[in-house]
Structure 1
Amino acid sequence: MAAEDVVAGLVADLAAESAVVDALVAGLTEEGWALATPAEGWTVAHQIAHLAWTDDWTLLAARDPEGFRAAIGSWTSTENPAEDPVEDPVEDPVEAGAREGAAAAPAVLLERWRAGREAVAAALTAAPADERLPWFGPPMKPASMATARLMETWAHGQDVADALGLAREPTDRLRHIAHLALRTLGFAFALHGLPVPEQPVRLELTAPDGGLWTFGPAGATDVVAGPALDLCLLVTQRRHRDDLALTATGPVATAWLPLAQVFAGPPGKGREASGPSS
């Protein structure tokens, strides 16, 4: 399949995933938008605001890579904080973006997100398929960028669904997140200051339709197995491993699961185990 067709398919899946989350919030009252989600300090509005904020940065990366790099560079002080401590440190841009976006009226925020994700779809489709776009983590080609946006949309949509007490039907789009999980295995180890394993890992996952998805070499002795949904919940850090039906065979697979992270940035806090039911 041509690279352009791969991007087009991913962009279509991103649109479908976005539509699912849109349907969760479109009919909410102001009280619904203000509901707390499992992410500490974040309401439903914060979750959608974060998606809109990240779309803004995606557009900048696709349309003006140098502008993106300059903007990111402005976040880092050139002064030595040990010699010149800052009394009022700058707020984390991610937190600031979510807070500022969530302050808007729900209808305004929803329209911002809708317009932004349409613009992202157009920008990623138009970008040269082999061009590496700058990002907060390693640079990514448009296909990888679309996959990352799909992953994040699904993950933050999970937070929204949890806040609303709703269960979403898993879809074949989880395949993209599972694939991303394996591709970022080395990244997860490096985030924790650990050497990137040379031993390959294989995923053997039960798909939403009951079929089998496999990723990684067939002869690998390190294997992670279980429901694809559970792996996606783990690597997006939406559930604790103790609450998931995943098994790990081999030292690398066993060490990876507690560290697994598919999103850019520092190691996430993850979620607490639910514990035994009363």
Structure 2
Amino acid sequence: MSDVLDGVLADLEAQSAELDDHVAGLTDEQWRMPTPAAGWDVATQISHLAWTDEASVAAATDKARWDELVLEAIADPQNVVDSAALDGAKVPPSELLGRWRAGRAALGAALRSVPEGEKIPWYGPPMSPTSMATARFMETWAHSLDVYDALISIGSITGQPEPTDRIVHVAHIGVRTRNFSFAANDLTPPSEEFRVELTSPSGQSWTYGPAEAAQRVTGSAIDFCLLVTQRVNRADTDLVATGTDADQWLDVAQCFAGQPGEGRKAR
């Protein structure tokens, strides 16, 4: 288990470092550039990542602090995430960057300290340290895309960084949250398993589910990951669904917790 956890944490740190490299040199004004997430600028995106890392650390190591966070969520379930992100973004960028870096370092140590077999409480079902690290990777990757879109809009970069096979962690969550996606949209999850066949950025084949399944999804891993994190409209992907249930899944796919998102408009 520790080897698997270490592997996910290494990928998480690499993904975080890539984003860190892009935002560390931004001016204070550029930190306030709007991103595709309504009402969130670059600082808000980083603030959200910092807050979620800190919440993960509290869940794994500090019951009193975790209980406080749960009570805050219960008191304002619809706005707690936005409020925390927006409040955290009010500080100077250098302070916010330091906070995010400290939280990232603390997260790895906290997850490695969880005894074998124990799960960490969370806002949804409890998670293993590896699952928690995988979720943190997914969020870091997804919010990075929003930041990069803001940088593209001002010509700071010419396009999204080339995807790597690290997105396997996002693909994994995307497949595992199939039933959640249906339930979140008040739909009955299908009883049968699906076959998912994806081509990774390096050209590898990633497969999930029984080979003989009638319901199937095929396409590029990057488009699947963009879809399940709702960073692209389905119409702008190369994904192909075979079967009514698989087709419906691609309309509602969502690998992050919370209410169904609005998704992105077709290009």
TM-score surpassing 0.5? yes
Hey, what does 1:263 align to over in structure 2? 256
**Equivalent residue runs for 1:70-109 within 5 Å:** 71-76=69-74, 92-109=79-96
Secondary structure of the corresponding residue to residue 258 of structure 1 = helix
Percent identity, aligned pairs only, is: 52
Cα distance change of structure 1 residues 66 and 176 upon mapping to structure 2, 3 Å threshold: same
Q: Which moved more, 1:116-125 or 1:133-142?
A: 133-142
Secondary structure of the corresponding residue to residue 167 of structure 1 = coil
Hey, what does 1:125 align to over in structure 2? 112
Aligned letter for 2:190? P
Decide which of 22, 25, 28 is 1:27's aligned counterpart.
25
The alignment status of 1:160 with 2:147, answered yes or no, reads yes
Distance in 2, Cα, partners of 1:206 & 1:113: 32
Q: Per-residue displacement from partner, 1:88-145 (whole Å, max 9, x unpaired)?
A: x787111111111111111110010000011001111111242121112221111100
**CA RMSD between the two structures:** 1.6
The alignment status of 1:272 with 2:259, answered yes or no, reads no
1:211 CA displacement:
2.2
Q: After TM superposition, where is structure 1 displaced by more than 3 Å over at least 4 residues in a row?
A: none
**Equivalent residue runs for 1:188-199 within 5 Å:** 188-199=181-192
Hey, what does 2:123 align to over in structure 1? 136
Structure showing the higher helix proportion among its residues: 2
Cα distance change of structure 1 residues 127 and 117 upon mapping to structure 2, 3 Å threshold: same
Q: Is the contact between residue 72 and residue 80 of structure 2 (CA under 8 Å) also seen in structure 1?
A: no
Q: Which moved more, 1:65-74 or 1:177-186?
A: 65-74
Distance in 2, Cα, partners of 1:90 & 1:8: 32
How many residues align structurally? 261
Gaps of 5+ in 2: 153-158
The alignment status of 1:145 with 2:138, answered yes or no, reads no
1:76 CA displacement:
2.7
Q: Is the contact between residue 195 and residue 213 of structure 2 (CA under 8 Å) also seen in structure 1?
A: yes
Q: Is the contact between residue 65 and residue 133 of structure 1 (CA under 8 Å) also seen in structure 2?
A: no
The alignment status of 1:63 with 2:61, answered yes or no, reads yes
The alignment status of 1:215 with 2:202, answered yes or no, reads no
Gaps of 5+ in 1: 78-88
Q: Is the contact between residue 136 and residue 265 of structure 1 (CA under 8 Å) also seen in structure 2?
A: no
Aligned letter for 1:174? I
Q: Is the contact between residue 195 and residue 215 of structure 2 (CA under 8 Å) also seen in structure 1?
A: yes
Secondary structure of the corresponding residue to residue 154 of structure 1 = helix
Hey, what does 2:155 align to over in structure 1? none
The alignment status of 1:250 with 2:243, answered yes or no, reads yes
Q: Which moved more, 1:233-242 or 1:205-214?
A: 205-214
State the TM-score, normalized to the length of structure 2. 0.93
Cα distance change of structure 1 residues 129 and 146 upon mapping to structure 2, 3 Å threshold: farther
Q: Is the contact between residue 173 and residue 255 of structure 2 (CA under 8 Å) also seen in structure 1?
A: yes
Cα distance change of structure 1 residues 90 and 264 upon mapping to structure 2, 3 Å threshold: closer
Aligned letter for 1:52? A
Secondary structure of the corresponding residue to residue 213 of structure 1 = strand
**Greater Rg, structure 1 or structure 2?**
1
Hey, what does 1:10 align to over in structure 2? 8
1:221 CA displacement:
1.3
